[in-house]
Amino acid sequence: MHATHPPPRRLVTVASCLACAVLLALGAPQRVEAAGERAAADPVQVFYPRGDCRGERIDLEVWDRDRSVWKRHPLHPRVPVESCQTEDAGVLLHEIRWRCVEPPDADPPAVWVVGLEVFDPEIMERCAVSPLRLTSGDSDIVVSNPPADRPFRSETPEAAVRGSVRMQGLEGAAYDVVVAVDRSTSVRDGDVDLLDAQLRAAGELVARLEARLGPVRVGIVSYPNAPPGPGESTGARREIGLTADRVALQAGLARLRRRGASGMQTFSSAFEFGLAELAGRNPGSGARERARKVLVIASDGRRALPFGAAAQGASAFRSRVLELADQAHRQGVAVHLLALGGLAEAPSEFVQSVVARCQGAFSRVPAPALGTAYLDALPLPTVEEVVVQNTTTGRPASRAAIDAEGRFEARLAFVGGANRLSIRARTSDGSWAQREWTVNFDDALVVERLRAAERERMQREQRKSLKIEPERARELP
């Protein structure tokens, strides 16, 4: 931080599509709407880094042409540093300005800078997709040996420490993942084909998971508001049941692409049907009892429920979706919502309450980023490392061997009496779990073994001595 210089001109970077760059080059700004109206007629994602700001916020103002004055930004007059925001491409050069919000005694004070600079499109990787993560969450370490409720014995000072790492209460790396695809007619409105984007993302997810298919199964559901098929109770339908067959999954996606879009979007039917698939209530779903459950619901985020202002007033819809979220929580299903092509800066309170109830996440995928593999952000964590240490002996920690089910084993040295063990486990999402475990080592067998070894040594010495004495006697003249 340079206290004697104002913040540099090149502070803010813009994630711009080609059409937006052309608009900027031609100097064709769009009119800035009044406060409370839609401010992004031609939206781009803008990244506001910290730069030389000495505070945690940035103030924004836009130019009011009618009154020829600067006014507070109509949607976000103050934004956090290191954040992505939606702006209008038409105002980025001359009709928007920014200033670091800094302490009152900052010297020199922050100054207003007019215009934002267009940056390399790689910034899309940072701004386009909100992180959608299934973390290991409440990971726990269960120790099966040595026991803590009674002393244990061993003939040597070393013994095996065995146990397992459980995520969401389950061992292993088994996941059942259902992806619900929005194939309503609205997904083909406008310039971006949201149906094709969803199908490509699902195909890339299957390809990425190929090495893990088996423990991981994937199923595809679609949800037009069409007449239900045989045995289907809602407008949603199964395209392919939960399977580890990569070829069958890709074939199912191809069939869905050929059928195309149809009908009105019915978000709640996808939610309900996806939960039934994961619970095994739908015959032939392929769901497994001992697998973690994940439901990803992709939806047109531009105008359809549950996103946007309309969802706030649809009381019957809200009530039903919250009821399904509670059902997902009871089933242990993590539900992730993807708003495709949407420009909402943050999820509404309603959407936040849905994902909070079922340990999920909300992600928005703006239109320029729909070509990316946004489902890659679904990590489906596994156990990667377990470290075991006997803090009583103070010896270095031992890295345990781990099998495919998350079970581990390490050999440690023990001393007689109480031994304090520290066990740490790391999962592939970067989460750590720790367990302290006190066991009592009864070293009677070790002591007896040492005593027996000492008696054997003494007996050998004695026999050796007796053998030497007669030899010396024969050597006498």
Q: Is the pLDDT of residue 54 over 50?
A: yes
Across the strands, what pairs with 422? 389, 436
pLDDT of the residue at 3: 27
Triad 453, 457, 460: Cα angle to 5°: 140
pLDDT of the residue at 130: 61
Per-residue pLDDT tens over the stretch 328-368 = 999 999 999 988 886 545 677 888 888 888 888 888 887 76
Report if residue 469 sits inside a domain: no
pLDDT of the residue at 23: 24
DSSP 142: E
Per-residue pLDDT tens over the stretch 259-313 = 888 777 788 889 999 999 999 999 889 999 989 999 999 988 877 778 766 776 7
Per-residue pLDDT tens over the stretch 92-137 = 778 899 999 988 888 888 899 988 764 445 555 456 566 566 566 5
Domain residues for the domain of 398 are: 140-166+382-442
pTM reported for the whole predicted model: 0.67
CB within 8 Å of 271: residues ≥ 6 apart: 180, 295, 297, 321, 324, 328, 335
Per-residue pLDDT tens over the stretch 135-188 = 665 688 999 999 988 999 988 889 999 999 998 888 888 999 999 999 888 787
pLDDT of the residue at 311: 73
Domain count, the chain: 3
Taking the CB of residue 276, how many other CB atoms lie within 10 A of it? 22
Number of residues assigned to the chain: 477
Same-domain pairing of 186 and 115: no
Taking the CB of residue 204, how many other CB atoms lie within 10 A of it? 15
- Cα separation, 272 vs 327, whole angstroms: 9
Report if residue 247 sits inside a domain: yes
Per-residue pLDDT tens over the stretch 419-460 = 999 999 998 877 888 999 999 999 888 877 767 777 788 878
Residue 16 pLDDT grade (very low, low, confident, very high; cuts 50, 70, 90): very low
CB within 8 Å of 408: residues ≥ 6 apart: 162, 163, 164, 165, 383, 386, 388, 400, 401, 402, 425
Question: Does 417 or 475 have the greater pLDDT score?
Answer: 417
pLDDT of the residue at 26: 25
CATH number for the domain that contains residue 184: 3.40.50.410
Q: Is the pLDDT of residue 36 over 70?
A: no
Read off φ and ψ for residue 181, nearest 5 degrees: -100, 130
Provide the b/e sequence for 392-402 (b: ≥16 CB within 10 Å): beeeeebebeb
Same-domain pairing of 232 and 366: yes
Same-domain pairing of 86 and 66: yes
Q: 32-36, 101-105, 210-214, 310-314 — which is least confidently predicted?
A: 32-36
Mean pLDDT (the chain) is 79
CB within 8 Å of 468: residues ≥ 6 apart: none
Same-domain pairing of 413 and 357: no
Q: How close are the terminal C-alpha atoms of the chain, in Å?
A: 99
Same-domain pairing of 146 and 192: no
Long-range contact set of residues 445-449: C-beta below 8 Å, sequence gap at least 24: 445/153, 445/154, 445/155, 446/154, 446/155, 446/156, 446/157, 446/416, 447/416, 449/155, 449/156
